[in-house]
Amino acid sequence: MAVSDGTPFILTTVEQMARWGQKNSIWPLTMGLACCAIEMMSLVTPRFDSARFGAEVFRASPRQADLMIVSGRVCHKMVPVIKQLYEQMPEPKWVMSMGSCACSGGVFNNYAVVQGVDQILPVDIYVPGCPPTPEQVLEAILQLRDQIGKGDPKAGLPIIKVAQ
Amino acid sequence: MAEATESMVLNMGPQHPSTHGVLRLVVEVDGETIVRCRPDIGFLHTGIEKQFESHTWQQAVTDSDRMDYLSPLTNNLGYVLAVERLLGIGVPPRCEAIRVLFCELSRIASHLVWLGTSALELGAQSVFFYAFQAREAILDMFEATAGVRMNLSYMRVGGLMYDIPPQLPGMVARFLEELPRWMTDFRALLDGNPIFRARVQGVGVLTAEEAIAFGVTGPSLRAAGMPWDVRKTHPYSGYEKYQFDVPTRTGGDVWARYEVRMAEMQESAKIVRQAMAGMPEGAWRTDDRKVALPPREEIHRSMEALIHHFKLVAQGFDVPAGAVYQAVESPRGELGFYVVSDGGTHPYRVRVRPPSFYNTSVLTRLLEGRLLADAVAIIASLDMVMGEVDR
Amino acid sequence: MTDLLEKFPDVRLHEQQDWPTLQVPLQNWLDVARHLRDTEGYNLMLDLTAVDWPNRPEGRFDLVLHLRRLPTGEGLRCTTVLNGMVSGDRAATDAGSVRAPSLHAIWQAAEWAEREVYDLFGITFDGHPDLRRILLPEDWEGHPLRRDYPLEGPRALDPASKYAH
């Protein structure tokens, strides 16, 4: 256990234990928007079983969730709702942009769809696909776990672009 | 001192565990009774009808999937049938049979999602897992055929994306063997559960007159006693060749809608069996080279084929000016495509008659006077897909 | 249908199209609709929508109504042409210059369908109990399904708009 930055040994251990706990119990928020939501539902079913990676329950209340999986196209009317849900989530929290629509607007480059949820929220991991298979989302959860385990420096980063 | 009470306005959604997608209900309650209900939609408005106009006729098939995403192939079929009518072309019998096969598999998959999510919302979590597990077999078939589990865009104007793969008949046969076991399990878990029955029987009664006034079609209308099914009265893509019944009930309550959809899954399985057993040999797309791409081998030999290929890919084909309304029976009701052409390579206007839109509008009537606790069961029983409601 | 054609002599019936289609002058729209439901038995309103022909001299918008007679299911289409001068500024909110009577009292299904046509085309329905946007946010400007509205919407029209992302 390196303490090269001068942090006392005991605090480093506590931090590592906290990170271990966080990464092994990521509880997603039910934020199913469109088609990707169905693949997200498939994720908890026995064949793909996200529970074995700690995502035991999907919580409907943002107060009890760690990970907001934005699954589907983000439309203008939904933007204030998503922002409010994100604000309601307690720290530490992460955002996964699931599906091409959430990553960049996907197939819909038109008046109705926000061109990527990162226009309104900081995203920690992007999963392209239309929709991505549940295996791809699992891979993303595993990568996110690694990020968290290493001490995610992005927590609390300012939002990339804010539409007023 | 007398107690003064006033009603309370409650907001359900658009993020809510039980509203089946991004539906917002502004509900005025007096104690536990809903006095007034106002659905607020548009949280998934994607501009798909406008998007159709910016694509070529063939590209636009991909726009159609993403409306009713639980049953993408019925959307594909409605759209390509409308365009084929405007073009005045037909498709070979094998293509028709494959289209019917996939539409019915979509119907079963869609009803399984309805079953799983509705049961989950009423507390039956095991049914959710079982239903989605059963659906995985269908998604494997989709993946083997089109490479994608959902949003296949498998159909094309003039035919299909590819022929079906050689392993498909075996997958269908295995699925048809397993389906009865799944259905028995569902029945045992739900029908046999007095709590489930108490929550759905007599709840959310929708009469046929009310349904028709609101434009409700599909299982919700058939559960109210009106045996209306587009596949029977105005068959398309060869549906007249298959033997199947149209399940109807008279109760009009959540229980009746449940029964109709469960029976529909059985009927769809019958059609799948017949379509697979009687699958004609031959071409899977039209041989009209102005519409369908020529086979790859021909491009290397024939200059004309190469030119057709180039023109079709670079520019697309023209569709004669005119307008047509094509109806198909989606798992939610009558899905209509009103397609208008101005003679060009792009659709001029594509209006999608969305069954879920009208099925959702009936909530204003259906929830008034009911208990708040029943709202979840009633909403689930209407089986709306917000992608289709909002487009 | 002969009753109807006698009662409304300006209505034309086209039978060569995919569905029998009634071409109805706007002043008869409401009465023809009522006759179709009450006398001819077209109880199911499938859909009400519009088509925009911006350069057409006789009128810019078509209103298209699709009906069925249940339980047998015969279909009927009714169309009418809406004349109206539309503001040249396509991003401006419609000032009510394109109007049609509301059919909500005849088929309840028309209530939401007309709201959608108002939202996306800017056609005002007289007599509608609750005419406001249904799919787009309340403060949206413009009517996207009009042919002169760009596909990208606010991103193309007004990059400073809060909807331009």
The full set of domains in chain A, from first to last, is 25-148 (3.40.50.12280)
pLDDT digits (tens, 9 = 90+) for C5-30: 888 888 899 888 889 999 999 889 99
In this predicted structure, the answer to whether residue C90 has a pLDDT above a threshold of 60 is: no
Please state the rounded mean pLDDT for residues A35-58. Answer: 86
Has residue C84 been placed in a domain?
yes
- Do C109 and B334 make contact, defined as CB atoms within 8 angstroms? no
Tell whether the torsion through CA atoms of B232, B233, B238 and B240 is positive or negative: positive
Are the Cβ atoms of A111 and C153 closer than 8 angstroms? yes
Residues of A in Cβ contact (< 8 Å) with B117:
41
Test the B interface: residue of C68, C77, C121 with most B CBs within 10 Å:
C68
For residue C105, the domain's CATH number is 3.30.460.80
Please state the CATH superfamily assignment of the domain spanning residues B58-382 in this structure.
Cytochrome-c3 Hydrogenase, chain B (1.10.645.10)
> Is residue C162, in this structure, part of any structural domain at all?
no
Phi-psi region of C42 (alpha: psi -120 to 50; beta: other; left: phi over 0): beta
Identify whether the C-beta of residue C42 lies closer than 8 Å to the C-beta of residue C31: no
Nearest Cα of chain C lies from the Cα of A7 at a distance, in angstroms, of: 43
Give CA separation, A2 vs A7, A12, A17, B203, C71, in Å: 9, 9, 15, 64, 78
C90: domain range?
A: 2-157
- Choose the closest CB to A76 out of C150, C151, C163: C163
Question: Across the interface, which of C64, C111, C144 has its CB nearest the CB of B50?
Answer: C144
**C86: confidence class by pLDDT, cuts 50, 70, 90:** very low
Contact C119, C102 (CB under 8 A): no
Return the domain boundaries, chain B.
Answer: 1-45, 58-382
Confidence of residue C88 (pLDDT cuts 50, 70, 90): very low
Tokens describing residue B307:
């030119």
Q: Pick the more confident residue, C55 or A1.
A: C55
Tell me which DSSP letter residue A25 carries: -
Which position has the higher pLDDT, B64 or C55? B64
Neighbours of chain C (3+ CB pairs under 8 A): A, B
Chain C interface, mutation test: which of B358, B359, B384, most C Cβ atoms within 10 Å?
A: B358
Interchain pair A108, B51: CB under 8 A: yes
Minimum-distance CB partner of B324 among C18, C51, C116: C18
Distance between CA B136 and CA B129 in Å, rounded?
Answer: 11
Q: Which two tokens stand for residue A6?
A: 């001068």
Rg (CA), chain C: 17
ipTM over 0.95: no
- Residue, of A61 and A75, whose pLDDT is higher: A75
Burial C41-54 (b: 16+ CB within 10 A, else e): ebbbbbbbbbbbbe
Mutant choice from A83, A111, A120 vs C, greatest count of C C-beta within 10 A: A111
Q: From chain C, pick out residues whose CB is under 8 angstroms from the CB of A114.
A: 165
Which A positions 10-69 lie with beta carbon below 8 A of chain B? Answer: 30-35, 37-39, 41-42, 45-47, 60
Residue in B45, B63, B70 closest to A38 by CB: B70
Q: A163 and C136: CB-CB below 8 Å?
A: no
Flag if A47 and B136 touch (Cβ within 8 Å): yes
B26 has a chain C CB within 8 A of its CB? no
SS3 A98: strand
Task: Flag if A115 and C165 touch (Cβ within 8 Å).
Answer: yes
Question: Which of B18, B19, B22, B127 to mutate: most A Cβ within 10 Å?
Answer: B22
Q: Given this model, what pLDDT does residue C92 score?
A: 35
In a domain, C152, yes or no: yes
Chain A nearest C-alpha distance from C112 (Å): 18
Q: What is the pLDDT along chain B (391 residues), one digit of tens a residue?
A: 567 777 888 888 787 776 678 899 999 998 888 999 999 999 999 999 999 999 999 999 999 989 999 999 999 999 999 999 999 999 999 999 999 999 999 999 999 999 999 998 888 889 999 999 999 999 999 999 999 999 999 999 999 999 999 999 999 999 999 999 999 999 999 988 888 898 899 888 999 999 999 999 999 999 999 999 999 999 999 999 999 999 999 999 999 999 999 999 999 999 999 999 999 999 899 988 888 888 888 888 999 889 989 988 888 899 999 999 999 999 999 999 999 999 999 999 999 999 999 999 999 889 988 898 888 899 999 999 999 999 9
Give the A:C interface size as CB pairs under 8 Å. Answer: 33
Q: Domain total for chain C?
A: 1
**Are the beta carbons of C112 and B233 separated by less than 8 Å?**
no
CB contact under 8 A, B69 and A31: no
Over its C-alpha atoms, chain B yields an Rg (Å, rounded) of 22
Query: Which residues numbered 60-89 in C keep a CB inside 8 Å of some CB on B?
Result: 64, 66, 70-73, 75, 77
Q: Any chain C CB within 8 A of the CB of A113?
A: no
Task: State residue A153's pLDDT score.
Answer: 52
Contact B254, B204 (CB under 8 A): yes
Residue-level pLDDT at C51 = 94
Residue A2: band (very low, low, confident or very high) from pLDDT cuts 50, 70, 90: very low
Rounded to two decimals, what is the model's pTM? 0.91
Please indicate whether, in this complex, the C-beta atoms of A110 and C153 are within 8 angstroms of each other.
yes
Q: How confident is the model at residue B1, as a pLDDT? A: 56
Q: Is C105 on the interface with B (CB under 8 A)?
A: no
